[in-house]
Amino acid sequence: MRIVDKLDDLLNPIVVKELRQAVKSRIVVSALVLFLLIQLSILLVALSFGERRGYEEASLQAGRQIFLILQGILLGTCMLLVPAYAGVRLAAEHSDTNVDLLFISTLRPRGIIFGKLQASVVLMLLIFSACAPFMTFTYLLRGIDIPSIVMVLVLDFLVVLLCTQGAIFFGAVPANAGMKLLLGLFGLGLLAIMFGYTTAASMALLDMGLGSRLDSVEFWLIAGAVAVAILATVGLLFTWSVAIVSPASANRALPVRLYTLAFWIVTGAAAAIQMRRFRTTMPLYFWEAVIVTLLCTQIVVSINEREQWGLRIKRTIPRRWWLRGPAFLLYSGAAGGMLFAVLLIALTLVLASLPLSWWIDPSTLRAPTVEIDIGSRTTLALFLMALYTFDYCMLAVWLRNLLPHDRIKTSYTWVLAIILAGLGISLPWPLLFLFQNEELRMGHIDPGWQISNPFSSIFTCVAETSAEAEIFRYQCPLFLSGLALTLLLGCVPWMARQMRRFRPPEKETPAV
Amino acid sequence: MHIHIDHLKKHYGRMRAVDDVSFSFSSGEIVGFVGPNGAGKSTAMRIIATLDEPTSGDAFLDGISVVEEPDKAHRLIGYVPDSLPSHRDISVHEYLDFFARAYGIGAATRKKVVESIEEFTNLLGIREKHLNALSKGMKNRVSVARALVHDPAVLIMDEPAAGLDPRARIELRELLKVLSSQGKAILISSHILTELAEICTAAVIIERGKILRAGSLSNILTADLPHRTVLIRSLDEPELLYRHLLVQPNIEAARRIDHTVEADVAGSEEACWELLEHLVRNGYRVVEFRQQRAGLEELFMNVTRGEVQ
């Protein structure tokens, strides 16, 4: 067998197909040519203007200024072209006709998504390599050092990678054309925000000048943390995408939950290291906010999951009861998913609420009082957010179970939860108008009236300082916890039913 | 290769899309899967192709369960869906090459495999054309070629003839005959019953998820019929034979058609044999005695009620 054949066999089929399509695509080729022309034009214009200036007027910042323009174009092109190309193509192909057919080949869902990402990375490398000579040339124009150029390009690459994986995730979401358009617009908005932040970060990095900081441990810790955060998010989006394109009969949740667990541990450890090194608790609270938000999303997703398992999954359920318990939390399933998220949220909040001395010597903090105050407010806000998410989701599950059989599909429980939350947010206002009109006009309403409104309640508890707010700060979590417990009791039969069903098959199906 | 569908059920809430479906077929057979729209044909086919999971029951390909060992089953199944390939910016050859790669066919043999499939499905002339520039008939051929690229033992075809012009339909029919002669087991659903009857060796009629009739075509077309229609030609005066038949107790009706007489015989095939024996014993010089097979269309109309869930 020839080496070329061996190498060919190693290639992911999706990458080969995607790149073949990209080469033939007019959009990709035109965008690349246009991109190169713009870069060349900018450089020519800049050089021409530079020529006209006298020696005295020579700018010592010309390199940096031109680099920023070129970097803006590179980032804009990559962030728009590569993610849009990957996302739109997957969205178009993710139908009964195409992606399903891949599933009856030997390709696995992981291979399909990874192939899409790999193909996008090749496109990104192509664009980056096309712009590299122009960007390196800016070094000769002064005002910028090579390490800064490299670091900014690495940052840009990671951000484009994140955006591309995000676009692949959006493209994988099964939806009709209208919904896909809405998702596309939403994704475009996110891209614009990311573009803004990355450009600002690049400018800050260039202003700092990275050449002199390369030997500092702090610099590498921050750079490492940013890289870990971006790559961890890429991984999270990747596992979500794989779960979405996996067949409904597969154990979709298992890799997602395992990844979430790994994400929790790795990012938590990174936050702890940063906290000790930089003598600030901010990384811990940032980690806490990210994790709780992620797990609240997990709760909303979980309520739509299966409540019974097909043979394909049942066959893999452990027979030993002590292994079945953890497996219940990790396998696809509504109750297991809810419990997994709730347990991890509780653990996160407990860790963040531990006395500060457990994490760091408080005397070494620059502003211990401020940090403790920010920390307690963050934890309270996140605790309330988790309680509201749990309560509305469990209420939706409870109501769905109350309704006659199959009136609301399991997969649409999230819609019911959102409707309930919408009612909870909007209903207090007409009630206040009817019964507390005077107070409403004066702006002195009892915060208790707004208890069904998460936004208002969290704001009152965290930001307001009035006497009523002080009382409400205790009443609100108490009420929400009581409601959560009541709903949990109401849903015990629902959970118990799923736990009973979560068993391996009694005997193997006899082959014919 | 023996394919056994074993008590397959697929329920969507209260709707029973597939309700306890069981049947078997083997290599070299072409089984027509017939039923009105919404009868559960596509759902059953998707389950057999491992694209869906059954609520209960299973399908076995030489003992390999599609539910429990889908990965092994993938290599044995070629699935032609009811929709045609719609990838952009990719030629027919690249499309087939992609699926050959996806099925793990190594570089050393892939070129030959793809070329032989292109030749077999008559795609060589259009291999460099883009998929989205092809006609429906050509896309259909590409779809069949894609399903054959890994040389599966079982071919599952969901409405492959839908929307094809007469020439493309005839080409598809011939292709299926060749595939059957090569030993492939083929399960095909179609609404064009006359064509199915021409190529199928067996048929399964399904409605509201339940099997109404299943078996070899000759069996299901002759079983459960209220009467058999036989065509008789003798060297005697047709009028004489006609009158004689009319007075026989198990003859429901008789018609004279040119030099032959067509008679509806009440009862089973035994009654047909008894009639022939009776005619010969009474001195009729019978030179042709042929049982007219009911058409698949007629049977379909008789057994189905056109109900949907």
Each residue's pLDDT tens digit, B212-271: 888 887 777 776 667 788 899 999 888 888 999 888 888 888 888 888 899 988 877 788
| A341 located within any domain | no
| A330 located within any domain | no
pLDDT by residue, tens only, chain A of 512 residues: 678 778 888 888 888 888 888 887 777 788 888 888 888 888 788 777 765 555 555 566 677 778 888 888 888 888 888 888 888 888 877 655 555 666 677 788 888 899 999 999 998 888 888 888 888 887 777 777 888 888 888 999 999 999 999 999 988 887 777 778 888 888 889 888 988 898 888 888 888 777 777 778 888 888 888 898 899 999 999 999 998 888 767 788 899 999 999 999 998 988 888 888 888 888 888 999 999 999 999 999 999 888 888 777 888 889 888 898 899 999 988 999 999 999 999 999 999 888 777 777 777 777 778 878 888 899 999 999 999 999 999 999 999 988 876 677 887 888 999 999 999 999 988 888 888 777 778 777 888 888 999 999 999 998 888 888 889 999 999 999 999 999 999 999 999 999 988 888 876 544 44
Q: Looking at A191, A214, A237, which one is the last position of a domain?
A: A214
User: Is the ipTM here above 0.95?
Assistant: no
Contacting residues of B for A409, CB less than 8 Å apart: 13
Largest separation between any pair of C-alpha atoms in chain A? 91
Q: Is B58 left (phi over 0), alpha (psi -120 to 50) or beta?
A: beta
Rounded to whole angstroms, what are the CA distances from A22 to A19, A80, A119, A212, A475?
Answer: 5, 15, 9, 41, 59
pLDDT at B93 over 70: yes
CB atoms within 10 A of CB B86: 13
Q: Is B237 left (phi over 0), alpha (psi -120 to 50) or beta?
A: beta
User: Region B187-209: what's the mean pLDDT?
Assistant: 84
Yes or no, beta carbons of B51 and A100 under 8 Å apart = yes
User: Region B140-169: what's the mean pLDDT?
Assistant: 85
Distance (Å) from the alpha carbon of B136 to chain A's nearest alpha carbon: 14
Residue partners of A368: CB distance under 8 A and separation at least 6: A356, A362
pLDDT at A512: 41
Q: Looking at A198, A214, A230, which one is the last position of a domain?
A: A214
User: Which of A26 and B23 is assigned the larger pLDDT?
Assistant: B23
| A277 located within any domain | no
Residue A196 token pair: 């803004």
| A230 located within any domain | no
| A419 located within any domain | yes
Number of domains, chain A = 2
| Domain that includes residue A406, residue range | 390-501
Q: How far apart are CA A284 and CA A361, in angstroms?
A: 14
Q: Please report the DSSP string for A414-435 in residue order.
A: HHHHHHHHHHHHHTHHHHHHHH
Closest-approach residue (CA) in chain B for A106: B103
Q: Please report the DSSP string for A282-339 in residue order.
A: HHHHHHHHHHHHHHHHHHHHHTTS-SS--HHHHTTS-SSHHHHHHHHHHSS-HHHHHH
CB atoms within 10 A of CB A371: 20
List residues bridging with B156 in a β-sheet: B79, B187
Yes or no, beta carbons of B14 and A406 under 8 Å apart = yes
**Residue A64: closest CA among A136, A151, A142:** A142
Enumerate residues 226 to 255 of chain B having a beta carbon within 8 A of any beta carbon in chain A. Answer: none
Rounded to 5°, the CA angle B225-B231-B235 comes to 155
| A270 located within any domain | no
| A132 located within any domain | yes
Q: Looking at A174, A192, A214, which one is the last position of a domain?
A: A214
Please provide residue A172's backbone torsions phi and psi, each rounded to the nearest 5 degrees. -80, -20
Do the Cβ atoms of A156 and A205 come closer than 8 Å?
A: no
Half-sphere exposure (Cβ direction) of B290: Cα atoms closer than 13 Å: 10
pLDDT at A404: 76
Distance (Å) from the alpha carbon of B291 to chain A's nearest alpha carbon: 37
Burial (Cβ within 10 Å: 0-12, 13-18, ≥19) of residue B213:
buried
List residues bridging with B292 in a β-sheet: B229
Please provide residue B10's backbone torsions phi and psi, each rounded to the nearest 5 degrees. -140, 115
The end-to-end CA distance of chain B, in Å, is 34
Enumerate residues 122 to 151 of chain B having a beta carbon within 8 A of any beta carbon in chain A. Answer: 146, 150
pLDDT at B309: 59
Which of A2, A16, A511 is facing B65, going by the closest CB pair? A511
| Amino acid identity at A206 | L
Interface size A-B, in CB pairs within 8 Å, comes to 109
Closest-approach residue (CA) in chain B for A28: B89
Rounded to 5°, the CA angle A241-A244-A246 comes to 105
Yes or no, beta carbons of B89 and A100 under 8 Å apart = no
Give the tens place of pLDDT for each residue, B55-65.
888 899 988 88
Do the Cβ atoms of B259 and B199 come closer than 8 Å?
A: no
Domains defined for chain B, CATH in brackets: 2-222 (3.40.50.300), 227-293 (3.30.70.980)
Please provide residue A30's backbone torsions phi and psi, each rounded to the nearest 5 degrees. -65, -45
Contacting residues of A for B61, CB less than 8 Å apart: none
| A80 located within any domain | yes
Do the Cβ atoms of B165 and B7 come closer than 8 Å?
A: no
Closest-approach residue (CA) in chain B for A25: B89
